Amino acid sequence: MTAGSLAYTYAVARNADALRQTVEGLIGVGGAPVHLVHTTQGGDVVAAVSHVPEEDFDEAALSRHLEDLEWLEALARAHHRVIEAIAACTTVLPLRLATVYLDDNRVRTVLDDRRDVFLGRLRRLAGHVEWGVKLYVDAPPIAPTPSPDLSPGRAYLRRRRAEQDSRQDAFRAAERAAERIEAVARVYAVDRVRHRLQEGELAVGPGVNVSNDAYLVPLDQADPFRADILRSTDSLAGVRVDITGPWAPYSFATLQEEGAP
């Protein structure tokens, strides 16, 4: 490890021959190669690490970079690309974005100190993937219709009442869709994490986000889970469901790091 660099740590994973082959030639944040850090005993738990410049990743630098959305987007893409490559060949515990340690030895110490915790979580997540499910109310506006028997003011009030009724109907439909999603989850999912609703700049697409959940699903149940989730809004007007995945289990694996880097 060169002077003036830090150990950027992407994930903890179960060691495997396929993982070692995957990491060979894998490029991470800032174009730096990825390598594996082992416990002092070697063994079955490793961390995926790259060396990054301290001038970009110490506490002061990261505070500045939080205001640079282009920099953050590039960081997130590289971070997730490494995790997805690892997840394709072994069970992975993704760490939060910009998890850095002073050096590989500090990473090794964390692996040694928390080995049992990591192994327990890896066993729980083995053979499972994450799906994101978002539910939206998307009631269409009511088009004005000619009302020669009404004054403009009364016609406006009637249209506003029709829009309110349509919106209320859509929210009731969303409640029924949410009940259907809950029923699907009881059949297939082994865990769920509720995320904040997407609003403002985080909102993607039209409509109002009324639920934003992540589900942990056995890999062999992924296809029926997705199909049943997509059917949850059948015959329900004014609502839509958006399902994304399968992903590495970000929502179920990220651990709060103990101790300062």
Q: Domain boundaries in the chain?
A: 5-126, 128-250
The model's confidence at residue 140, banded by pLDDT at 50, 70 and 90, is low
Residues 6+ apart with CB under 8 A from 236: 173, 174, 176, 177
The model's confidence at residue 60, banded by pLDDT at 50, 70 and 90, is confident
pLDDT, tens digit (0-9, with 9 covering 90-100), for 48-57: 999 999 998 8
pLDDT tops 80 at residue 44: yes
Mean pLDDT of all residues in 174-187 = 96
Length of the chain: 261
pTM as predicted:
0.80
Least confident of 91-105, 152-166, 243-257: 152-166
Q: What percent of the chain has pLDDT over 70?
A: 83
Say which CATH architecture domain 128-250 belongs to: 2-Layer Sandwich (3.30)
Mean pLDDT of all residues in 177-186 = 96
Tokens representing residue 96 in the block: 């939060």
> CA 184, CA 174: separation in Å to the nearest integer?
15
